[in-house]
Amino acid sequence: MLYRILSGIPKDKYYLIQSCIPHLDEQSESSIFYLQAQYYSLPIEPLLNRPRNFGLARIRKLINLLLQIYVRAKNIADILRQEPETSALVACSGDLVDIPAGYLSCRMLGIPFYAYIFDDYIFQWTGAYRWFAKLIAPFIFKHSDGIIGPNEFICEEYRQRYDVKAVLIRNPYDKVELEKESLIRTLPQQDGTIKIIYTGAIYHANFDCFRNLIQAMKSLHEYSLELHIFTAQTRQQLEEQGVQSEKMFVHSHVPYREILEQQRNADILFLPLAFESPIPEVIRTSAPGKLGEYLASGRPVLAHVPANSFAAYYLNKNQCGLVASINDPSDLKEHILKLINDKIFCNMITQNAHQKAQLDFDPQVSRMRLTDFLSTIRHKDQD
């Protein structure tokens, strides 16, 4: 997502700080998303290995976390000093330490700080990490210069929770792919087989959805249905979670461009978000990274997601996908049947989807919103 936004900005206008510099070679997938700007690599922070006994492990864990934040903040500040023209720092969620370390480094040097919240910083964690994030979040976000979020739900949540300025910048899609003509085709496309395709990770945020899908497919025995999953998980790992079927085909190590082509050749694109999850708050405000890809594909999107989620809100509001919001294989079966039998409906949602992809997921739009937001708040502060 950052690659698509930043790749249109002159490389001398920004630089990147990360834990490690990606290994690049002609065969590497990461080389596709490698920016030409300056990269800085942060060293690994020292950690305490003791004490381990007498119930002191939790204390050691907390000390290590605080130590990581301080050392990483110091290392980031050292990099900022090497770049005296730096006007702001943006720290992304995903790592527990990056946001507090980034904030602390900015306070050390008096530089504006922005947090880019891909997933809710508090609720993406569980256990002691959630407790820690909840403790420090108000202090950080209420004193931040602004929040960046990928959808309306997360932006509004942070505005209400921390009384902070927030800007909506959707997770953009590849510009070249967006400009391809959408080919609306009827189901099934070939051989009478209906291919349901999912691309991405399968984990606690969608296990139950796949179990429902497999049960729904079994009950539709009069149709030739196949589930094709393109993921890093192995078939054995999926079967251990009850995701198994003779009609399920697991594909791994597929190049990114080939995955996009597979999406365009699907009969149905499956978008799942768990109904039974240890992080329901994250599910509600999640902006699936593949949403733009799915909408631009020209294929009907079937979202099996909770009714209160952003994904359900967006697809229903824009009539650009079919939402099955009940945690029940029988209900999911009826939604699959609608996509199979209602050709007019399928054409309508796929046409709407392609239009929304071009309007909402254009990286140029995201880029302009980001640069405008950072410059506007900075100029106000200077005034």
Say whether both 248 and 351 belong to one domain. yes
- Indicate if 193 and 293 belong to the same structural domain: yes
* Peptide bond preceding 329 in cis form (omega within 30 of 0): no
- Statement to judge: residues 318 and 274 lie in one domain: yes
Between CA 18 and CA 354 the distance in angstroms is 34
| 225, 334: one domain | yes
* Whether residue 255 has a cis bond before it, omega within 30° of 0: no
DSSP string, 139-197: HHHHTSSEEEESSHHHHHHHHHHH---EEE------HHHHTSPP---PSP-BTTEEEEE
Amino acid at 267: D
Give the number of C-alpha atoms closer than 13 A to the C-alpha of residue 336, restricted to the C-beta side. Answer: 33
Backbone angles phi, psi at 115, to 5 degrees: -110, 130
Per-residue CA distances from 12 to 20, 24, 218 (Å): 20, 21, 56
Strand, coil or helix: what is 49? coil
* Six token digits for residue 288: 């699936």
Joined together, the tokens standing for residue 283 give 């599910």
What confidence score (pLDDT) does residue 192 get? 82
3-state SS, 55-75, equals: CCHHHHHHHHHHHHHHHHHHH
Tokens of 19: 């834990």
pLDDT attached to residue 205: 80
State the angle between helix axes of 207-219 and 329-341 in degrees (0 to 180), rounded to the nearest 10: 60
Provide the CATH number for the domain around residue 338: 3.40.50.2000
142 and 20 both lie in a single domain: yes
142 with 191, same domain: the answer is no
The burial of 342, by beta-carbon neighbours within 10 Å (0-12 exposed, 13-18 middle, 19 or more buried), is given as middle
Residue 125 and residue 69 in one domain:
yes
Check whether residue 29 and residue 72 sit in a common domain: yes
DSSP 181: P
Q: Both 321 and 370 in a single domain?
A: no
340, 194 Cβ separation under 8 angstroms: yes
* pLDDT at residue 143, rounded to an integer: 96
Q: Which domain holds residue 130?
A: 2-172+362-382
C-alpha dist (Å) from residue 320 to 52, 156, 305, 347: 53, 23, 15, 10
Per-residue tens of pLDDT for the chain, all 383 residues: 888 899 889 999 999 999 765 554 444 455 567 888 999 999 988 888 766 665 677 788 889 999 999 999 999 999 999 999 999 999 999 899 999 999 999 999 999 999 999 999 999 998 889 999 999 999 999 999 999 999 999 999 999 999 999 999 999 988 777 777 655 566 666 678 999 999 988 888 889 999 999 999 999 999 999 999 999 888 998 988 888 899 999 998 788 888 888 899 899 999 999 998 888 999 999 999 899 999 999 999 999 999 999 999 999 999 999 999 999 999 999 999 999 999 999 999 999 999 999 999 999 999 999 999 988 755 555 54
- Closest alpha carbon to 306 in 325, 281, 332, 279: 325
* DSSP E strand stretches across 165-287: 166-168, 193-199, 224-230, 248-251, 268-272
270 and 204 together in one domain: yes
Residues 301/271, Cβ–Cβ less than 8 Å: yes
pLDDT of residue 47: 83
Separation between Cα atoms, residue 257 and residue 262, nearest integer Å: 9
Total number of domains constituting the chain: 2
Strand partners, 40: 17
Burial track 314-338 (b if 16+ CB lie within 10 A, e otherwise): bbeebebbbbbbbeebeebbebbee
Does residue 327 share a domain with residue 180? yes
Number of H helices, E strands in the chain: 15, 12
DSSP 8-state secondary structure symbol assigned to residue 203: S
Let me know whether 260 and 376 are in one domain. Answer: no
**pLDDT of the residue at 46:** 85
